[in-house]
Structure 1
């Protein structure tokens, strides 16, 4: 079996550009680094470094091995944290996966609520759109976007709670000719350049694309990125218009307006999947109750 520590050292050597620099970064001696690389070469049966002039350079095999090891090492890091939890009584962390606007708008009160119940708790919040979750804990709470007219998703080992259904809105510069309308048909935006905040086509992006298809057009993107706040800045700069959930536009930058969408109304459903864990059932239930409260307040904001 390959030694994970040696794979990590290989990645450190490649990142640093030399054994000597990697040794300084890792607080090892160059001889120790060389010994690990020699042992890794024997374990794999690969030539990892070749002489070049007075030094050595990594082979293509070394580069490919280091690339492939990245996800494995992330999983080992997650396993280390699981072991630490087991040693510490298994109750020191609460892992939450959610999308960016939920992290921004709802997580402060959720964290405050669970800390009142368990002050020494560490809450780990990670984005589940668009990353695949490698290297993080299995979430205790997983907050997801769904099409409002679709069947609800159910995850094995989790209890599903619907939090809210919210409208998406068009965001435009205040000086835009369409900004004065009380509501906009989605088709009104057909000829506009768009700023897309979901370049990775996660669920919210799929909802927008489906609505545009129903309205008979495909958006023409002037810019695509994966951050709603940066997308709003591009709209404010006059690059284009954007369609975003209300939760993401609770605090608009100056010079922007949000207008309701009609024909069709574009909706998303937000659900939280709560892990079935009898040991931490009370803690998880408190977090879910706070999410329900935050979602209700968002609806009336």
Structure 2
């Protein structure tokens, strides 16, 4: 059976570029790192490192093993934190996974609300978009985007709450000719250069791409990245246009304006999946209630 700790060490060696640097980063001796790598090679039956000159280099097998171990290492890290919590008397944590604009606009008030009732609580917030990121702990609250007309996803062990349905808007440089329009037809952006804020094709990116295909075009990207704030800055320089949810344009930088999209309107549904945990049911319920207030949704 593979030792997860040795997979952690392997990833550290590859990230550092050498055994000596990995040893310094992990506060191990180089000999201990070498022993872990020798044992891992024996466990897997793989050649992980080869001599090159006076040093060694990682093989393709080592790199593929490290890549495939990413999710396992993340799960192992979370398990170790659970053990540490239990050893320390079950320190109280609330883990929230969400997308960036929800973290900016909604989560501060959630943190304030739950800590007002439980001052020793530590709230950990991780981003689950793009590429379904993994936090340090299994999330107690998982806030996600869905297509407004799509299938309602259910997660095992969680209760699903719909928070809101919001429309997406076009975002343009202030000097753009379409700025004077009260609303913008999506097809009118078909010949424009675009700034993509979702290079990893997470749910919001899929919603935008699907809407564009429905009116007969595929966006022509001048720039692609994975952060809506940086995308807004690129739009402000005149590089292109973009389409974003209203939550993401609550605080627009100078140099850009937003306009409603029509023909068709493009919408997303925001939901939160709340972990069913009897021990921490009260704090989870308080967090969900505050999310409903922030999203303007009726009480559940």
Fold agreement, TM-score > 0.5 = yes
- Shift of the alpha carbon at 1:83? 1.7
Q: Give the SS at the match of 1:178.
A: helix
8 Å contact from structure 2 (residues 128, 134) kept in 1 = no
Structure 2 residues without counterparts, runs of 5 or longer: none
TM-score computed with the length of structure 2 as normaliser: 0.90
Kindly provide the CA deviation profile for residues 146-179 of structure 1, in whole angstroms up to 9, marking residues without a partner as x: 2222343222222222211111111111111110
Corresponding residue of 1:144: 144
> CA shift at 1:278, angstroms?
1.6
Q: Specify whether residues 38 and 209 from structure 1 end up closer, same or farther in structure 2 by C-alpha distance, changes over 3 A only.
A: closer
Other-structure match for 1:202? 202
Partner of 2:115 in structure 1? 115
Larger Rg: 1
User: Aligned partners of 2:54 and 2:209: how far apart in 1?
Assistant: 57
CA distance in 2, matches of 1:198, 1:111: 27
What residue number does 2:283 align with? 283
CA distance in 2, matches of 1:222, 1:6: 42
Identify the residue that residue 295 of structure 2 maps to in structure 1. Answer: 295
Distance in 2 of aligned mates of 1:110 and 1:279 = 19
Structure 1 CA distance for aligned equivalents of residues 44 and 24 of structure 2: 26
Residue 187 (structure 1) aligns with = 187
Identify which range, 230-239 or 153-162, moves more after superposition: 153-162
**Could you tell me which residue of structure 1 aligns to residue 125 of structure 2?**
125
TM-score (normalizing by structure 1): 0.89
Offset at residue 134 of structure 1 (A): 4.0
The whole-number CA distance in structure 2 between the counterparts of 1:203 and 1:67 is 24
> Aligned runs of 1:66-81 on 2, under 5 Å?
66-81=66-81
> Cα–Cα, structure 1 residues 145 and 32, in superposed 2: closer, same or farther, change >3 Å?
closer
What is the distance in 2 between the residues matched to 1:63 and 1:13? Answer: 10
Q: Do the aligned partners of 1:114 and 1:283 also contact (CA within 8 Å) in 2?
A: yes
- What is the rounded CA distance, in whole Å, between the counterparts of 2:262 and 2:60 in structure 1? 55
**Given the alignment of the two structures, is residue 247 of structure 1 paired with residue 274 of structure 2, yes or no?**
no
- Residues 86, 28 of structure 1: alpha-carbon distance in 2 compared, 3 angstrom cutoff: closer
* Superposed CA offset, 1:67-114 (max 9, x none): 333332222101111222333454511111111110111111011111
Q: Partners of 2:152 and 2:53 in 1: how far apart? A: 62
> Which sections of structure 1, spanning at least 5 residues, go unmatched?
none
The corresponding residue for 2:106 is: 106
Q: What is aligned with 2:221?
A: 221
TM-aligned CA distance change 1:25 to 1:221, over 3 Å = closer
